[in-house]
Structure 1
């Protein structure tokens, strides 16, 4: 019948609109997950870095903490704006679809009403029988019978279509009310976050004014700190190279230029197991936030000074216990004359490093299990408790944030 293509087109449009709505919903869920992540991170920052205002932190530490907090809050504002903008697009799309559905429903109801009137006028069984009997031949009678059936089915389909569109319209109106409510809440939440950001930026600027008065001194301190970091990184590199050379020598390989471990079958299996847990490794401390990320980044004190980090620096609570992120063997324990100890744990050709410890629970050669306690994090005189955590593939440092769960 002539009406069939129209019916199919309407259904196709309906399913396309539903598919679009589902993709929008998935995007909203993704943005909401990010928003929750930043909100939780801010709670952790407040708990671990700003819980005790009585302690006199150095200006440098305060600026670093505030810079980190500001960056997270800016990310929160951005993702909330993205959510609000997406909701605006969804609201507009729903309003357009509601308007279109109302027009379609009006047209369908008018068409359906006309069909009902027509059917009523020719409703009597006698008129149908006469319509069939007046056929010129059997073939024409059969076609007329088929037409009567098709017309009845079409009436039923139109009735079902009106019903489904009415339900869709009700759902859209409900969604529209919810979306407007959600958007209003997001806008209000963002106003509060922006207000807090303004306070923090003002506080940050006041601290920077104090620092700029004696910038050379603070820059010198930052360079000295980086030199100490480079020194322990060189020591870690030396220990790993020695371990690689020892594994090669044991395997009968006399080459001194090898940068990879020669592994036993058991060590290879351990390395494969470690690799299969990429992105799922536990945090080396129960509570923590990554204050300094992996890689080279400008100092918040002086943008001309670069901070080079072979791992991540995790701010945690006082007396925090350090845990091995995977089973392995303690490769080495570094004890520094003017610094805090560090532990290296080997997992096949992978090595995890835990720096800035105050207490050690293991020693070289110990076999450890996943989440086994290996020591405690040191707390500085300014009250800052920071674990420096690194990950190496043989002697090459790699980003641990990719390997640790939701880091």
Structure 2
């Protein structure tokens, strides 16, 4: 029973450690990914910070860097918590193994003392020959053999338990060292976070000195983006109007066909001198909703359903990058503006990819930068600020198909990405993979 209990404890410990190891690997990968993002943002910031003029991108990069640094500290805290659980489990296992080892040694010592006390009193041969009959003598022989084998097994149990105990102690020491290293890393990240916040404070102080210039920059950006947003909205509205026109035309053709069939049936009844069938009352053509019009065909319905079913799992429009400006209203000092999508800072010349299969409905160059709109049934994705385009209007694209490459604005390569459902703007962060 003690052996079974020991095996159960070891099995449970191994299972718990394997689960903890899996969690630790996931946390380590997350932390490494965050660190890569921070390094890339730091390179971008080093380029833009050399200029005397403060840019909105600098502020966005610093804010994103602070957010990523906080995420990394959170990942380190999770790693430390995970290691604390491992330390607790391994400590309990060590105590259990020490107790088991003590019990095994006591039991083995008792067997040795018993053998020593009875070695002279009961000679093995005399013990066997003193049996009443052959059957009893055979049983005494088997008893002596089993007693000897059991002593050897007990010695083996003691040796194996000692090895397991030493192994667990080594693992425990290694885990304690990992925790110590993580605590040091956490302290370093807190210091870096403090520096980032000091930099943020300095930038905001500079911002107050350059307030007029900065407001002019934001006003110029709002004007440029408004022009692009009008073109995007107009293109999507044209697609909706065209879908509704097709739906109305199909309804009109179906009604005309039904009327012709009823007229032919009435004429046939007149020639055969029998009552004409009662004509059906023409049903009023119901105006379809935007969603119904855009998903009127089986193909567009499948695309729309597929897009919706991949909410939160769509691939990013670039292979590497960080969201440096989020969706919605932004306020910087006294100025404010709205972003209808997200800004993804990446490397110059990075390929832009379709996040889902669909049909290209617009390719346009506005202020020297390309805008691509892809229709996915009821949904539309917009890719803005491309320097070149590899698709054309009317062409079908597959998921992750290259559409072009990101243009460089100043010292930064930024892709502006939007998602619409019909003419309703969506937050892309709710749709793309985390």
* Larger mean Cα displacement after TM superposition, 248-257 or 110-119: 248-257
In structure 2, what is the equivalent of residue 35 of structure 1? 31
Distance 2:5 2:337 in 1: 61
Q: Return the match for 2:100 from 100, 104, 114.
A: 104
What do residues 19-52 of structure 1 show as CA deviations (whole Å, max 9, x unaligned)?
A: 3333332332222122112111112212344346
In structure 1, what is the equivalent of residue 415 of structure 2? 387
Count residues in correspondence: 394
Distance 1:167 1:394 in 2: 67
Equivalent residues in 2 for 1:213-228, closer than 5 Å: 213=209, 218=214, 222=218, 225=221
The structure, 1 or 2, with the larger RCO (C-alpha pairs under 8 Å, 6+ apart) is 1
Q: How far off its partner does 1:194 sit?
A: 2.9
Q: How far off its partner does 1:392 sit?
A: 3.4
In structure 1, what is the equivalent of residue 352 of structure 2? 322
TM-score by length of 2: 0.74
> Is 2:146 aligned against 1:181?
no
Distance 1:321 1:331 in 2: 20
Which protein has the larger Cα radius of gyration, Structure 1 or Structure 2?
A: 2
Q: How far off its partner does 1:156 sit?
A: 6.1
In structure 1, what is the equivalent of residue 341 of structure 2? 311
Q: How far off its partner does 1:72 sit?
A: 0.9
Q: What is the root-mean-square deviation in Å for CA atoms of aligned residues?
A: 4.0
Which sections of structure 1, spanning at least 5 residues, go unmatched? none
In structure 1, what is the equivalent of residue 295 of structure 2? 262
> Structure 1's 319 and 31: CA in aligned 2 closer, same or farther, altered over 3 A?
closer
Distance 2:10 2:320 in 1: 48
> Structure 1's 255 and 163: CA in aligned 2 closer, same or farther, altered over 3 A?
farther
Which sections of structure 2, spanning at least 5 residues, go unmatched? 252-285
Distance 2:239 2:79 in 1: 51
What do residues 77-104 of structure 1 show as CA deviations (whole Å, max 9, x unaligned)?
A: 2322332343244335434432442233
Aligned 8 A contact 2:62 2:200 in 1 = yes
What do residues 260-284 of structure 1 show as CA deviations (whole Å, max 9, x unaligned)?
A: 4224334445556656766665443
Distance 2:288 2:230 in 1: 18
Distance 2:421 2:139 in 1: 78
Aligned 8 A contact 2:48 2:411 in 1 = no
Distance 1:220 1:130 in 2: 113
Distance 1:348 1:144 in 2: 87
Matched position secondary structure for 1:247? helix
* Larger mean Cα displacement after TM superposition, 41-50 or 31-40: 41-50
Distance 1:59 1:48 in 2: 12
Equivalent residues in 2 for 1:1-400, closer than 5 Å: 4=1, 6-51=2-47, 53-55=49-51, 58-119=54-115, 121=118, 126=125, 129=128, 133=131, 158-213=154-209, 218=214, 222=218, 225=221, 229=225, 232-233=228-229, 235-251=231-247, 252=250, 255-260=287-292, 261-271=294-304, 281-293=314-326, 295-296=327-328, 298-299=330-331, 301-302=332-333, 308-336=338-366, 340-380=369-409, 382-400=410-428
Distance 1:200 1:220 in 2: 26
Q: How far off its partner does 1:223 sit?
A: 6.9
In structure 1, what is the equivalent of residue 266 of structure 2? none
Q: How far off its partner does 1:255 sit?
A: 1.4
Aligned 8 A contact 1:263 1:349 in 2 = no
Matched position secondary structure for 1:64? helix
Q: How far off its partner does 1:365 sit?
A: 1.4
Matched position secondary structure for 2:408? coil
In structure 1, what is the equivalent of residue 283 of structure 2? none
What do residues 43-69 of structure 1 show as CA deviations (whole Å, max 9, x unaligned)?
A: 221234434654455343222211111
> Structure 1's 144 and 210: CA in aligned 2 closer, same or farther, altered over 3 A?
same
Distance 1:149 1:190 in 2: 61
> Structure 1's 16 and 142: CA in aligned 2 closer, same or farther, altered over 3 A?
farther
* Larger mean Cα displacement after TM superposition, 11-20 or 72-81: 11-20
